[in-house]
């Protein structure tokens, strides 16, 4: 049972890593918008996740839902937050604020729960808070 769970978590990490590297590559070419639909299709097909459904989870239950129902590790939570941040940065629609709120929720959760200080994460939190306060 534990081996099965570890394999699921590893698969989740590999899929999220693949999506993230693809989006970073597209960002470098100025084509993140082209990757958003592909990202959503991959999340749905590989992980039974949907960006819109993620956005509909209440913030106060967001982390718990991902950790218990989808078995996200902290490492995978960070990858998901990075994916959502790339999408939010390129988004101009009504979901942009929700995307940033989900990212902030994950990053702040990780900051509270991990012993290792991440300067990059702090920078992301500050940047998101600045956007949300405008």
Distance between CA 125 and CA 131 in Å, rounded? 10
For residue 4, is pLDDT > 70? no
Burial of 112 (0-12, 13-18, 19+ CB in 10 A): exposed
| Coil vs helix vs strand at 15 | helix
Distance between CA 116 and CA 110 in Å, rounded? 10
Mean pLDDT score, 90-113: 92
**Which is nearest to 20 in space by CA: 106, 113, 86?**
86
Confidence of residue 130 (pLDDT cuts 50, 70, 90): very high
For the chain, counts of helices (H) and of strands (E): 7, 0
Q: Which two tokens stand for residue 19?
A: 């999506």
pLDDT in tens, 5-26: 677 777 888 888 888 888 888 7
Distance between CA 128 and CA 92 in Å, rounded? 15
**Structural domain harbouring 66:** 2-132
| pLDDT value of position 70 | 84
For residue 119, is pLDDT > 90? yes
Question: How many domains is the chain built from?
Answer: 1
| pLDDT value of position 2 | 61
| Contact (Cβ atoms closer than 8 angstroms) between residue 88 and residue 23 | no
Lowest mean pLDDT among 49-53, 83-87, 99-103, 128-132: 49-53
Q: Cα angle at 38 between 23 and 121, to 5 degrees?
A: 35
Confidence of residue 82 (pLDDT cuts 50, 70, 90): very high
């Amino acid at each position: 049972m534990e081996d099965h769970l570890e394999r699921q978590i590893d698969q989740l990490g590999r899929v999220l890593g693949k999506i993230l590297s693809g989006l970073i590559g597209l960002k470098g070419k100025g084509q993140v918008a082209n990757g958003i639909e592909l990202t959503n299709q991959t999340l749905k097909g590989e992980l039974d996740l949907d960006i819109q459904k993620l956005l509909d989870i209440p913030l106060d239950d967001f982390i718990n839902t991902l950790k218990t129902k989808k078995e996200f590790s902290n490492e995978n939570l960070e990858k998901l937050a990075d994916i959502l941040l790339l999408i939010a940065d390129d988004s101009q629609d009504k979901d942009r604020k929700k995307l940033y709120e989900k990212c902030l929720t994950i990053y702040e959760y990780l900051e509270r729960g991990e012993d290792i200080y991440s300067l990059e994460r702090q920078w992301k939190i500050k940047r998101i808070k600045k956007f949300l306060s405008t």
